[in-house]
């Protein structure tokens, strides 16, 4: 399909800090409903999962900001992400008038994944999805029927095991796969206004960024830590067919004010 004939699709990712805040979540979902055109939502839930783990006496282990998912943790995150977190979002979207359906990557084989190698770090039941194996036919059928898919961060390996997958990676995977059928924009919503030259200065937001500029900012130590994997995923998405990526505060979803990559 030629680019000019493709319909636009917005893929929006929200983090656990929004999912776990009832007021912020409801405000965000009202804005999400008002987004024009086709849309799809991906959500995390790590904040809620960590709280629940503490209540149940399950130790939370993290390496480089990634959760170690042993068997008990897998049960927990599945209950939180694919259960309460996902269905609560779907119910709130129905309240806005947005007809949504909650999905994990196991449902309709939408996002199969491979369990990550234990070398050099054993992350347990962590899944790495392949965009080429994503069930885009089923997802696009939902979208074209006026149903908004809401994906949690759970995938599966095709052999009966669920897998925990980073929500940013879910958004990247879906966006890359669906870019064959749509003009895709990814909105990564988080707690900052965008990518900052100085994280302590809210007026230092970078409005636009190319891959070359990003590499320069990394070399100078301006962009560090958790922003690096987010931007790596973002530019990889653009290189694999995604039209645009915007990194912004959740409250600015409708205005689109943030850092635009492309």
Annotated binding site: 45-46, 67, 164
As a whole number of angstroms, the distance between CA 17 and CA 46 comes to 8
Tokens of 177: 């796969």
Pair 181, 144: CB distance under 8 Å:
no
As a whole number of angstroms, the distance between CA 197 and CA 56 comes to 40
As a whole number of angstroms, the distance between CA 136 and CA 100 comes to 17
Find, among 179, 173, 172, 183, the residue nearest to 247 by Cα. 172
As a whole number of angstroms, the distance between CA 101 and CA 181 comes to 20
Residues annotated in a binding site for substrate? 45-46, 67, 164
As a whole number of angstroms, the distance between CA 39 and CA 100 comes to 10
As a whole number of angstroms, the distance between CA 81 and CA 37 comes to 26
Task: Give every CB contact of residue 228 below 8 A, 6+ residues apart in sequence.
Answer: 218
């Amino acid at each position: 399909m030629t680019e000019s004939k493709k319909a636009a699709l917005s893929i929006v990712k929200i983090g656990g800090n929004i999912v776990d805040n009832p007021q912020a979540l409801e405000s965000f979902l009202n804005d999400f409903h008002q987004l024009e055109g086709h849309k799809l939502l991906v959500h995390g839930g790590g904040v809620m999962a960590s709280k629940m783990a503490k209540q149940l006496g399950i130790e939370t282990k993290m390496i480089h900001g990634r959760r170690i998912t042993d068997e008990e943790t897998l049960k927990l995150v599945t209950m939180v992400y694919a259960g309460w977190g996902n269905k609560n979002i779907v119910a709130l979207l129905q309240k806005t008038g947005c007809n949504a359906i909650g999905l994990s990557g196991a449902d309709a084989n939408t996002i199969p994944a491979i369990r990550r190698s234990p070398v050099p770090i054993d992350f347990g039941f962590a899944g790495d999805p392949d965009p080429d194996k994503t069930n885009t036919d089923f997802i696009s059928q939902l979208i074209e029927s006026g149903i908004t898919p809401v994906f949690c961060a759970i995938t599966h390996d095709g052999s009966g095991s669920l897998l925990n997958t980073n929500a940013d990676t879910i958004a990247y995977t879906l966006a890359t796969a669906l870019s064959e059928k749509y003009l895709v924009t990814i909105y990564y919503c988080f707690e900052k206004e965008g990518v900052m030259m100085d994280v302590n200065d809210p007026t230092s937001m970078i409005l636009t960024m190319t891959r070359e500029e990003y590499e320069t900012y990394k070399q100078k130590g301006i962009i560090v830590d958790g922003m690096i994997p987010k931007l790596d995923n973002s530019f990889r998405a653009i290189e694999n067919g995604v039209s645009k990526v915007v990194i912004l505060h959740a409250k600015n979803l409708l205005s689109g004010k943030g850092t635009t990559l492309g």
